[in-house]
């Protein structure tokens, strides 16, 4: 096995000189003897721990084996008794029809509603699939210009938040004196609150509303109108991860406080300085889709194939870095130096652009010599690499794009970094081309400074009422930072409108349960001239009330002026606002009702005509005065805090789908951990799963270690958003809260760059990582070449085995016949970013259960589609490739031939079918599957779904019970629905009539599904491309899935091949 | 040499007996209940299909209105009952119970008669579209004062029809329009037609 690659080379070597890179899963694999070690071989060949669950921990410790006899008898006796009881007569079931059936409902047929995702403030459009009045799946709205049909991991998972059993279900009052808690009716709560508000109004008191970033104009207007009742009222918006420095730097350098729109779809070279724009930065779905447009090789002539380039400098290995053609690990804060070094090369050394004659620019850049910076950082390839990069950027000026800054690069220099990024974009003439500063919608920004001001006002007893909504400063802010907790005690009335009693709400006088966004009206204004509507798709599940409704009711009680006076309720308010603004500006000849209906149906209204060319803004050189002086970083170990694509700031920590989603890079579920690069780990003498203590100026936190290749040797990193104290059963105490490491400088939160000490504690904590689950034991499954190799021979990396070159490989099985359809899939490894949105989409669509941390450790993770991540190159600066692995629906399926009860069979449309009611759980099929994509139900996992969570099941898919096997079905229920529709119309299913769940949500359109019997279908065309390959072709299973070879746009000099 | 004490022996025998008894009970109870054929439970209201569909000749689809649109035939909501019973037979005590349920907004909880396991996907829509009559599976509902499960509704029973063995002649004729005495399969018998 060890020499597999070499064998392959021997057989194909006579024709090509291509040397495939060696792919590895974990750094331990790089030891030469790894895969020849029989112990390792046995361990890795095992798919599961075979021992009873409750004993695994002991077994791990004292290598005892076997089953306690007494326990066995107890268990068997009990289960026999159970089995015979369950055979009693079929239970009586009731049918409860509607009293008055809503006209639009047909039982068994879904309704779709267009709405707007409110999981973050981007404002992506969603289509909500409703069955019998309950949302069961979210999909991106294809008519929405922001996300264009795709949805991210969090958007997909936000459905589960609706059904979270830990949601607050009735208003609550906390009595300050004795700390007691009492539930109220809404009327009691309103009466009490209104009388206190009236008192505040009468004495001319101060009212503050603390919210997250508000994405809708009408909500913002309502808050403003509510506040205008009082003598002093102010809305403070605060979200911890918001990149406020971007707009601030834009204002300084260009004079307008905007968050520009970045046109990745037009950039030939993208340079990212720490900005993880593919999963967490600003508007990731939009940007991922834009970027992927330039990464598609299908349909191009290989000899002249074109591909954009992505170069990354980052302190944490992010999804963006993983997809970069060139990636350089740096320390937090180095982003600025790289940016200025590049500017130095361009303007000072090469005298390019109009800035070459600008003495202020020249002098500001003078101390940032690339040689000095490259050697300080220890940059691979040295300053020559920077010079090459600068030259490349200059060559592509107007067609390149520099982006920078995210949570992991929020250091003291975060603001300066944005100035430098703007400078680079202006030097390279990207401003006004790939950077569009004219589409700002007036969405407001989170501001730490205003939160700090609020805290000091509260501290000095100036604030009479504080209303909190979707902001959780007590979880985020370290105790000593603003003293927010103490300050809250000095506010006489605190009302928290929240979906749960979170850390901040626990200190509020009143906690009023808020609607989930799928229960509420609303709007968003993501870009200039782009308005998105949010409509409820389910009646409130609990006695909750929208934040806006509460403000409206109170405003009315206070005799408020403006729209609050005329609007009956929040829905009416929203309509009235639209009538006065969007409808008025639309100049439509329709009545408002018609206009409203039509926008509601589509979900979005665009007032933008055609594709306007953005104006070029002038860079103000004077802003360079704000650049810091060059100071070398001295910290031995710098701490990077970062946000995970699934967890963000921790707001949805109670979402089990997100908690169990394997991280794209580390593959760890359920916890956060300290990422340490191999070199530093060796120096500190720590290993995977060691618990270490992080210490910095009095802050001490214990956290388990994950060995993460690709980090700078002076950097450790850990994700925020974990260790919630009050969010619910799922999220409480999952992971470690690292927000205490936050600092503040210049009225901004500082996440990264803090110097820390790492000390071993001697304790261990087993992280639930999936990376070694279901491995293919070092068999080559990935094809990975460079663009120049691709141009010479796109099939260079194909694992061709000589005997497979026979036209027809002999097989002992009769051939299947496909008379009408044959379903197949093509996956483009080149544009798959590994973000994992498909994993959650599949989970929601196919009722895939959550198994919990302990079962993930036992290798019983249930995801039907798993994103495998492979490294190549050196562990210090590896290259990565992601491979979505799912049932390959083989033509010669090894699982089918070993099933003793024919529970897995081939159907006449090429699907490999798993029949749950036939399966007896021998697991032979799983054992015989070379792709390791079959999942076994060791338990009745569905039983962990409590109360309202059961409403999230998809009624078209069987919920599987204990003891049976399951796997990807190619969304057979969607195939069936499509065929049903086609039959109704008397036609055949056409290409593109339906999409599988994974394909539908993919931000980069990396998955294509369709009928491969039809040579004109997109999937057939993809499969016919020269760089398409089947995984493990040598075993002649003839999969129905083809993968497109990963192609990296890098030349020999940069390529790490052969190291 | 393993020594077995008297208590252990007794325990062993007892265990053997317990397991044996449970297995037999399980087996006996399991097999006869594989089908619910003949099941005709009492309903909360003595609704008579004989009266409605038989004597009054009301079309099935009037009440089971989703049968052509959906996998479910659907049990009518109360407002459909009230279309007639706001004027018809209003003095009957049962209709008064019905009217009260309607005005209180409390649905009637009918006892389910025809029930397939959760792992079976059965679309009424496709079957009706192929010309399968209601009676083909549900029996002569027009004669039933209390609704009863006439057919076995077991997998074998489904397959016989899908293979063309018990298929109603009009359905066979529709699928084989140019054959004189049509025989043969009429519908897919792959597992995932019904199970997924």
pLDDT of residue A633: 87
In this predicted structure, what is the pLDDT of residue A457? 93
Which residues of chain A are within 8 Å of residue B79 when distances are taken between CB atoms? 98-101
| Structure-token pair, residue A1040 | 């129905």
Nearest CA in chain B to A906: B190
Whether A610 has a pLDDT exceeding 50, the answer reads yes
Please give the residue that has the higher pLDDT: either A1047 or A90: A1047
pLDDT surpassing 90 at residue A736: yes
Residue numbers of chain B with a pLDDT score lower than 50? 1, 32
- Kindly state whether A244 is in contact with chain B, defined as any CB-CB distance less than 8 angstroms: no
Chain A nearest C-alpha distance from B14 (Å): 11
pLDDT at A665 over 70: yes
User: Does A749 share its domain with A784?
Assistant: no
**A619 is a domain residue:** no
pLDDT for position A727: 92
CA distance B180 to chain A (A): 25
Q: What is the pLDDT of residues A216-241, one digit of tens each?
A: 899 999 999 999 999 999 999 999 99
Distance CA A651, CA A420 (A): 32
What is the average per-residue pLDDT within A299-305?
Answer: 89
Question: At residue A531, does pLDDT exceed 80?
Answer: yes
Alpha-carbon gap: B190 to the closest alpha carbon of chain A (Å): 6
| Angular region, A917: left φ>0, alpha ψ -120 to 50, beta rest | alpha
- Write out chain A residues lying below 8 Å of B115, CB-based: 90, 93
**Residue-wise over A340-370: b if at least 16 C-beta within 10 A, else e?**
bbbbbbbbbeeebbebeebeebbebbeebbb
Q: Are A498 and A96 in contact (CB under 8 A)?
A: no
In a domain, A621, yes or no: no
Residues A336 and A432 in one domain: yes
The predicted pLDDT at position B8 comes to: 77
User: Is the predicted ipTM greater than 0.85, yes or no?
Assistant: no
**Shared domain check, A575 and A644:** no
**What is the C-alpha separation between A342 and A427, in angstroms, rounded?**
10
Structural domain ending residue among the three candidates A384, A407, A436? A436
Task: Examine residue A814 and state whether it is found in any structural domain, yes or no.
Answer: no
Establish if B77 touches chain A: CB-CB under 8 angstroms.
Answer: yes
Q: Quick one: A498 and A520 in the same domain?
A: yes
For the segment A418-449, what is each residue's pLDDT rounded down to a tens digit? 999 999 999 999 998 999 888 776 566 788 99
Specify whether A354 is located in the same domain as A316.
yes
Q: Are residues A528 and A414 in the same domain?
A: no
DSSP SS3 for A904 = strand
A150 and A296 inside one domain: no
- Across the interface, whether the CB atoms of B33 and A94 are under 8 A apart is answered no
- Examine residue A126 and state whether it is found in any structural domain, yes or no: yes
Q: Which of A99, A109, A956 sits opposite B102 (nearest CB)?
A: A99
Strands A326-329 and A309-314: parallel
Is the CB of residue A88 less than 8 Å away from at least one CB of chain B? yes
Exposed e or buried b per residue across A583-621, where buried means at least 16 C-beta atoms within 10 angstroms of its C-beta: beebeeeeebeebbeebbebbbbeeeeeeeebebbebeb
Mean pLDDT of A758-785: 89
CATH code for position A850: 3.30.70.20
A417: domain CATH number is 3.40.228.10
What whole-number percentage of chain A has pLDDT above 70? 92
Read off the pLDDT of residues A866-880 as tens digits, 9 standing for 90 and up. 999 999 988 888 999
> Is A918:A902 a contact under the CB 8 Å cutoff?
yes
Residue A55 lies in a domain: no
Q: CATH number, domain at A666? A: 2.40.40.20
Residues with Cβ within 8 Å of residue A431, at least 6 apart in sequence: A254, A422, A425, A437, A616, A617, A619
> What pLDDT is recorded for position B37?
87
Which residues on chain B are in Cβ contact (under 8 Å) with A106?
66, 69-70, 74
Q: Label residue A39 exposed, middle or buried (CB < 10 Å: 0-12, 13-18, 19+).
A: exposed
CATH number at residue A552: 3.40.50.740
- Taking contacts as CB-CB distances below 8 angstroms, the residues of chain B near A972 are 192, 196
pTM: 0.90
Q: pLDDT (tens digit, 9 = 90+) per residue, A59-108?
A: 443 333 344 444 445 555 555 555 544 444 578 899 999 999 998 899 99
A607 CB within 8 Å of a chain B CB: no
Residue A443: per-residue pLDDT: 60
Residues 909-928 (A) with a CB less than 8 A from some CB of B: 911, 913, 915-918
pLDDT at A1055: 63
For residues A193 and A145, state if they share a domain. Answer: no
The pLDDT value recorded for residue A202 is 92
A974-983 own/partner pairs: CB under 8 Å, 24+ apart: A974/A845, A975/A823, A975/A909, A975/A911, A976/B121, A976/B196, A980/B123, A980/B125, A980/B126, A983/B126, A983/B129
Q: State yes or no: pLDDT of A1056 exceeds 60.
A: no
Domain that holds residue A507: 172-242+443-606
CA distance to partner chain A, nearest, from residue B71 (Å): 6
A777 and A749 share a domain? no
Provide the shortest C-alpha distance from residue A734 to chain B (in Å). Answer: 34
Inter-chain CB proximity A99 and B105 less than 8 Å: yes
Residue A779, token pair as written in the block: 């068999």
Q: Give residue A672's pLDDT band: very low, low, confident or very high (50, 70, 90).
A: very high
- DSSP 8-state class, residue A1059: -
Better-predicted residue by pLDDT, A608 or A819: A819
Put simply, whether B7 touches A (Cβ < 8 Å) is no
Residues 106-145 of B with CB under 8 A from A: 106-112, 115, 117-119, 121, 123, 125-126, 129
pLDDT digits (tens, 9 = 90+) for A534-576: 999 999 999 999 999 999 999 999 988 888 889 999 999 999 9
Which residues lie closer than 8 Å to A839 by C-beta, 6 or more apart? A153, A661, A662, A863, A865, A866, A867, A998
**A848 in a structural domain:** yes
Would A973 be classed as within a structural domain?
yes
A97–B33 CB contact, under 8 Å: no
* Partners of A704 in beta bridges: A691
Q: How confident is residue A774, by pLDDT bands cut at 50, 70 and 90?
A: confident
Say what percent of chain A tops pLDDT 90.
71
- pLDDT score of A538: 94
Q: Please indicate, yes or no, if residue A332 is contained in any of the structural domains.
A: yes
Residue with tokens 């009731």: A94
Looking at the structure, do residues A546 and A661 belong to the same domain, yes or no? no
The verdict on A983 touching B (C-beta cutoff 8 Å) is: yes
Closest by CA to A1020, choosing from A823, A830, A795, is A823
pLDDT band at A43 (very low <50, low <70, confident <90, very high): confident
Mean pLDDT value across chain A: 88
Out of A134, A162, A190, pick the residue that ends a domain. Answer: A162
Give the other-Cβ count within 10 Å of A703's Cβ.
24
Residue A455, CB half-sphere, CA atoms under 13 Å: how many?
A: 20
What total of structural domains would you count in chain A? 5
CA-based nearest residue in chain A for residue B76: A97
Question: Where residue A129 falls among pLDDT bands split at 50, 70, 90?
Answer: very high
Q: What residues does A182 pair with on adjacent strands?
A: A173
> Are A853 and A716 members of one domain?
no
Boundary of a domain, candidates A411, A436, A461: A436
The phi, psi pair for A165, rounded to 5°, reads: -65, -15
- CA pair distance A149, A144, nearest whole angstrom: 7
The minimal CB distance from A106 to the residues B15, B41, B69 is found for B69
Give the model confidence (pLDDT) of A858-909 as tens digits.
889 999 999 999 999 888 889 999 999 999 999 999 999 999 999 999 999 9
> How many residues make up chain B in this entry?
196
Same domain as A230, residue A256? no
């Amino acid at each position: 096995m060890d020499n597999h690659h070499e064998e392959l080379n021997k057989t194909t070597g006579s024709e090509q000189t291509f040397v495939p890179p060696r792919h590895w899963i974990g750094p331990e694999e790089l030891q030469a003897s790894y895969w020849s070690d029989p112990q390792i071989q046995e361990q890795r060949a095992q798919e599961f721990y075979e021992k009873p669950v409750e004993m695994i921990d002991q077994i791990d410790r004292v290598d005892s084996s076997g089953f306690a006899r007494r326990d066995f008898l107890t268990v068997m006796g009990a289960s026999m008794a159970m089995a015979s009881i369950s055979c009693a007569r079929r239970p009586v079931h009731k049918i409860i029809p509607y009293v008055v059936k809503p006209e639009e409902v047909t039982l068994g047929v879904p309704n779709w509603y267009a709405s707007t995702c409110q999981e973050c403030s981007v404002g992506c459009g969603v289509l909500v699939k409703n069955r019998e009045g309950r949302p069961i799946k979210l999909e991106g709205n294809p008519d929405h210009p922001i996300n264009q049909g795709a949805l991210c991991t969090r958007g997909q998972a936000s459905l589960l938040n609706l059904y979270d059993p830990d949601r607050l279900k009735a208003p609550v009052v906390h009595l300050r004196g004795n700390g007691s808690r009492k539930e109220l009716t809404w009327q009691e709560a309103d009466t009490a609150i209104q009388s206190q508000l009236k008192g505040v109004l009468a004495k001319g008191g101060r009212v503050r509303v603390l919210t997250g970033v508000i994405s809708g104009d009408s909500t913002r207007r309502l808050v403003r109108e509510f506040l205008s009742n009082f003598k002093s009222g102010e809305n403070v918006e605060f979200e911890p991860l918001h990149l406020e420095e971007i707009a601030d730097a834009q204002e300084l350098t260009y004079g307008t406080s905007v968050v520009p729109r970045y046109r990745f779809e037009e950039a030939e070279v993208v340079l990212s300085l720490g900005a993880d724009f593919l999963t967490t930065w600003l508007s990731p779905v939009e940007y991922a889709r834009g970027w992927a447009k330039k990464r598609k090789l299908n349909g191009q002539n290989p000899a002249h194939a074109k591909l954009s380039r992505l170069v990354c400098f980052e302190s944490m290995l992010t999804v963006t870095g993983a997809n970069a053609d060139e990636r350089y690990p740096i320390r937090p804060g180095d982003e600025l130096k790289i940016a200025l070094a590049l500017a130095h090369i361009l303007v000072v050394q090469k005298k390019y652009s109009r800035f070459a004659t600008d003495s202020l620019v020249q002098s500001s850049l003078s101390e940032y010599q690339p040689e000095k910076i490259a050697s300080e950082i220890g940059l691979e390839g040295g300053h020559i690499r920077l010079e090459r990069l600068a030259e490349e950027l200059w060559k592509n000026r107007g067609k390149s794009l520099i982006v920078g800054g995210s949570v992991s690069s929020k250091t003291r220099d975060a603001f300066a970094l944005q100035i430098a990024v703007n400078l680079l974009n202006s030097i390279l003439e990207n401003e006004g081309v790939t950077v569009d500063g004219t589409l700002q919608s007036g969405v407001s920004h989170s501001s730490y400074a205003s939160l700090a001001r609020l805290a000091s006002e509260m501290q000095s007893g100036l604030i009479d009422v504080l209303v909190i909504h979707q902001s959780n400063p007590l979880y985020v802010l370290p105790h000593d930072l603003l003293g927010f907790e103490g300050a809250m005690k000095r506010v006489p009335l605190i009302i928290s409108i929240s979906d749960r009693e979170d850390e901040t709400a626990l200190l509020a006088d009143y906690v009023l349960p808020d609607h989930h966004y799928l229960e509420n009206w609303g709007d968003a204004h993501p870009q200039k001239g782009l308005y998105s509507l949010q409509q409820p798709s389910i009646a409130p599940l609990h006695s909750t009330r929208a934040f806006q409704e509460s403000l409206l009711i109170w405003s009315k009680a206070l005799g408020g002026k403006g729209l609050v006076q005329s609007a009956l309720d929040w829905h009416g308010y929203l309509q009235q606002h639209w009538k006065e603004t969007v409808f008025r500006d639309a100049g439509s000849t329709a009545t408002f009702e018609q206009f409203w209906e039509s926008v509601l149906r589509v979900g979005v209204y665009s007032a933008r005509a055609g594709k306007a060319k953005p104006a070029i803004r002038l860079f103000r050189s004077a802003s360079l005065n704000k650049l810091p002086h060059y100071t070398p970083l001295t910290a031995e170990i710098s701490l990077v805090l970062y946000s995970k694509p699934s967890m963000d700031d921790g707001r949805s920590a109670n979402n089990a789908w997100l908690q169990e989603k394997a991280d794209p890079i580390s593959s760890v579920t359920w916890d956060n951990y300290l990422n340490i690069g191999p070199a530093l780990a060796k120096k500190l003498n720590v290993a995977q799963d060691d618990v270490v203590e992080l210490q910095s100026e009095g802050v001490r936190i214990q956290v388990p270690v994950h060995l993460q290749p690709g980090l700078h040797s002076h950097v450790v990193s850990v994700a925020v958003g974990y260790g919630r104290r009050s969010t619910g059963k799922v999220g409480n105490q999952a992971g470690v809260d690292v927000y205490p490491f936050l600092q503040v400088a210049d009225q901004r939160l500082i996440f990264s760059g803090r110097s820390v000490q790492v000390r071993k504690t001697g304790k261990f904590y087993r992280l639930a990582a999936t990376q070694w689950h279901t491995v293919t034991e070092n068999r080559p499954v990935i094809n990975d070449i460079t663009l120049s190799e691709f141009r010479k021979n796109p099939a260079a990396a194909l694992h061709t085995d000589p005997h497979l070159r026979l036209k027809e490989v002999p097989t002992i099985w009769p051939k299947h016949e496909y008379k009408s359809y044959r379903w197949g899939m093509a996956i483009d490894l080149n544009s798959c970013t590994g973000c994992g949105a498909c994993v959650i989409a599949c989970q929601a669509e196919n009722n895939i259960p959550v198994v919990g941390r302990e079962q993930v450790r036992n290798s019983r993770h249930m995801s039907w589609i798993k994103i495998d991540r492979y490294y190549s190159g050196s562990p210090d600066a590896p290259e990565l490739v992601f491979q979505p692995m799912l049932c390959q629906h083989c033509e010669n399926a090894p699982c089918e031939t070993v099933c003793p009860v024919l529970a897995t069979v081939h159907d006449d449309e090429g699907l490999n079918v798993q029949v749950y009611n036939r399966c007896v759980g021998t697991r032979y099929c799983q054992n015989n599957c070379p792709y390791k994509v079959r999942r076994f139900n060791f338990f009745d996992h569905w039983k962990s779904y409590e109360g309202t969570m059961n409403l999230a099941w998809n009624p078209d898919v069987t919920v599987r019970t204990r003891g049976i096997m399951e796997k990807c079905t190619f969304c057979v229920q969607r195939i069936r629905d499509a065929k049903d529709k086609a039959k109704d119309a008397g036609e055949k299913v056409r290409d593109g009539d339906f999409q599988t769940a994974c394909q539908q949500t993919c931000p980069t359109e990396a998955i294509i599904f369709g009928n491969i019997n039809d040579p004109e279908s997109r999937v057939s065309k993809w499969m016919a491309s020269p760089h398409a390959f089947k995984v493990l072709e040598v075993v002649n299973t003839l999969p129905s899935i083809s993968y497109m070879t990963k192609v990296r746009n890098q030349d020999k000099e940069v390529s790490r091949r052969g190291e | 040499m393993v020594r077995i004490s008297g208590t252990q022996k007794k325990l062993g025998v007892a265990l053997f007996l317990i397991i044996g008894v449970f297995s037999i009970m399980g087996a006996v109870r399991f097999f006869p209940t594989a089908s619910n054929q003949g099941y005709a439970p009492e309903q909360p209201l003595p609704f008579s299909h004989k009266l409605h569909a038989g004597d009054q000749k009301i079309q099935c689809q009037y009440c089971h209105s989703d049968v052509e649109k959906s996998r479910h035939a659907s049990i009518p909501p109360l407002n459909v009952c009230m279309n007639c019973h706001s004027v018809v037979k209003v003095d009957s005590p049962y209709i008064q119970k019905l009217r009260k349920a309607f005005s209180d907004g409390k649905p009637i909880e009918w006892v389910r008669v025809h029930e397939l396991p959760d792992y079976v996907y059965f679309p009424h829509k496709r079957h009706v579209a192929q010309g399968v009559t209601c009676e083909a599976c549900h029996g002569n509902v027009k004669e039933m004062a209390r609704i009863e499960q006439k057919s076995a509704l077991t997998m074998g029973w489904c397959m016989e029809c899908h293979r063309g063995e018990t298929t109603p002649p009009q359905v066979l004729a529709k699928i084989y329009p140019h054959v004189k005495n049509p025989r043969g399969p009429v519908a897919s018998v792959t597992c995932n037609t019904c199970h997924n």
